[in-house]
Copies of this chain bind each other. A is one copy, B any other.
Amino acid sequence: MDDDDLRRGKPSCHKAFDEATAILAGDALQTLAFEVLSDPDWVGRSPASRLKMVFALSKASGSLGLAGGQVLDLNLTSQNPTLETLAAMHERKTGALIEASVLMGGLCATDESEILGRLRNYARPLGLAFQVIDDVLDGTADTETLGKPAGADQERGQPTFLSVLGEAPARQYAQYLIDQAISALDGFELDATLLIALAHFTLARSR
């Protein structure tokens, strides 16, 4: 198997089946998310709140989110982009989806824009920090610990936060982003314990 073939220690979908099946599985799962959010049997939140979740997820998945970020990734020809270019790409990919996940969690509880705004400001740097640490682990941990092939980015010649910054500065950058995330919760009117723990875990994880 080549570099992209493992996820959590198991063959990835395109390897276990084939590429066409994997793409269609992705299409079906993406649309399933919208089906779950709009399912008439789910009555826990108002239609208006659920429509906000649909909007958050669609923005995060589309041309200004995941799909557009992947296009930027494909067109990233420079082996040595600036930190800004790399961050702008990852803010659309991992970043936008983590932001949408946190925001949709918030929308399950409330429609208060003060709370939702803080959650966004927490999630945005958190998502980027997640990717920075992901890059560091890919270049410094072993395959068994990761559950996916270590060193895959470097083998593909893909620029990462590790290759652009080096390990110590990359970890410092992640720390800076996590500090930003946590400070967005200063004076948060709800219990932020778990959100803060999640932010610390994002830095400390080893896989």
Contacts and interface: CB of A to CB of B under 8 A. Distances in A.
Contact of A24 (B35, B48, B67): B67
A110 B88 CA distance: 43
Contact of A74 (B21, B27, B68): B21
B58 A28 contact: no
A71 B65 CA distance: 27
Interface string A33-71: 011011110000011101110110111011101111011
A38 B50 CA distance: 9
B67 A28 contact: yes
B24 A61 contact: no
A31 B67 contact: yes
Contacts of A172: none
A168 interface: no
B58 A34 contact: yes
A28 to B, nearest CB: 4
A75 to B, nearest CB: 9
A30 interface: yes
A41 to B, nearest CB: 10
A35 B71 CA distance: 19
A75 B165 CA distance: 47
A59 B30 contact: no
A198 interface: no
Contacts of A108: none
Contacts of A71: 21, 24
Closest 8 pairs between A and B when the two form their complex, measured CB to CB: A35-B58, A28-B67, A38-B55, A47-B47, A38-B54, A34-B58, A31-B62, A47-B48
7 contacts: A20-B74, A21-B71, A27-B27, A28-B63, A34-B58, A35-B55, A50-B51
Interface of A: 20-21, 23-25, 27-28, 30-32, 34-35, 37-40, 46-48, 50-52, 54-55, 57-59, 61-63, 65-68, 70-71, 74
